[in-house]
């Protein structure tokens, strides 16, 4: 609430701890070898991992994995012609009237 108020004063909509961590931890996720398309989302998860606990970060990661599955199903059902709108990190699937909160990771990152 206080961050949102402060964000409104400086011209940033919906300012939150998550938004701040996604920018502050961006260089760390980039140094970890994450693709630039996914750096903000990985930094977002790292913010939960560092600031809160592993369980919340795990649930956020699981949500992004489910979102990827939903996105792929949407594209398959609409033959790749479905209207998709990106608003920040969220993805809106217009034909299904669904919003994928925090988007999805483009690749599955694993240690080898």
pLDDT tens column, 48-101: 888 888 888 888 888 888 888 999 999 999 888 889 898 877 889 988 889 998
Q: What is the DSSP string of 29-71?
A: HHHTT--TTTHHHHHHHHHHHHHS-HHHHHHHHHHHHHHHHHH
Give the rounded percent of residues in the chain with a pLDDT score beyond 90: 11
Handedness of CA 50, 102, 16, 7 (dihedral sign): positive
Give the rounded percent of residues in the chain with a pLDDT score beyond 70: 95
pLDDT given at position 112: 43
pLDDT tens, residue by residue, 33-44: 888 888 888 888
pLDDT given at position 74: 92
Question: CB–CB of 62/45 below 8 Å?
Answer: no
Exposed, middle or buried by CB within 10 Å (0-12, 13-18, 19+), for 12? middle
């Amino acid at each position: 609430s206080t961050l949102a108020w402060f964000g409104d004063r400086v011209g940033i909509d919906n300012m939150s701890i998550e938004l701040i961590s996604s920018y502050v931890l961006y260089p760390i996720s980039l140094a970890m070898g994450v693709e630039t398309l996914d750096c903000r989302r990985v930094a977002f998860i790292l913010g939960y991992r560092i600031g809160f606990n592993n369980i919340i970060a795990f649930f956020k990661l699981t949500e992004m994995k489910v979102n990827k599955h939903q996105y792929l199903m949407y594209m398959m059902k609409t033959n790749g012609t479905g209207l998709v709108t990106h608003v920040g990190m969220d993805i809106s699937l217009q034909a299904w009237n669904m919003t994928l909160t925090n988007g999805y990771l483009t690749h599955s990152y694993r240690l080898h």
